[in-house]
Amino acid sequence: MSMSADTPIVPPDTPGLRPLPQLIFGSRWLQLPLYLGLIVAQGVYVVLFVKELWHLVLGALKFTEQEIMLVVLGLIDVVMISNLLIMVIVGGYETFVSRLELEKHPDQPEWLSHVNASVLKIKLAMAIIGISSIHLLRTFLYAGQLGKEGAIYTETGVMWQAIIHSVFVVSAIGIAYVERLSQPVYSASPSHKDHH
């Protein structure tokens, strides 16, 4: 059996893990049903996308430009949440459960080659900001109705939505800044040098 250059060479006399560490390390597989559940959720979002798209096609001739824009923003929202799901499923499984061994696969995502908990955290924060931006844009389309009878949003509701979005942005900047500060420490550590 041929071994690739990346295959770790384990000496034959290396002792296995003791029972307790083996149980603790093996407990990572308890996350597998969670990731499988997210795949089911991904399928639900595909159904939702097709439903919204069909709604757009049927109403293309009678919808106003604003109504079409709202449906399209809804479609983009579904796609961005779906992208977030993929990042959590693929990146989370690769980081916390087991390697997917996609190095030689032509469709391997570019970000997956250097994914770790820090990178995943920043990418998730950016995805949440994107989703929040879509919701905020959809709210702003109704800004002209604020204060009128039957308005979907109130001025206070829009204000809080903008504040929450700003908190997401500041949080993402904070996460990225903290990760950047810790990067030189990580790069200088002996264990990191041994991997390169």
In tens, the pLDDT along 6-15 reads 555 545 544 5
33-47, 94-108, 109-123, 167-181: range with highest mean pLDDT: 33-47
Q: Which residue has the higher pLDDT, 104 or 111?
A: 104
4 or 109, higher pLDDT: 109
**Looking at residue 41, what is its pLDDT?**
94
The whole-number pLDDT of residue 196 equals 47
- Tell me the mean pLDDT in the region 28-42: 91
Whether 1 has a pLDDT exceeding 50, the answer reads: no
Give the integer Cα–Cα distance in Å for 170 and 22: 40
Joined together, the tokens standing for residue 49 give 């996308």
- The whole-angstrom separation of Cα 34 and Cα 40 is 10
- Give residue 22's Cα distance to chain centre: 30
State the average pLDDT for the chain: 79
Mean pLDDT computed over 163-180: 88
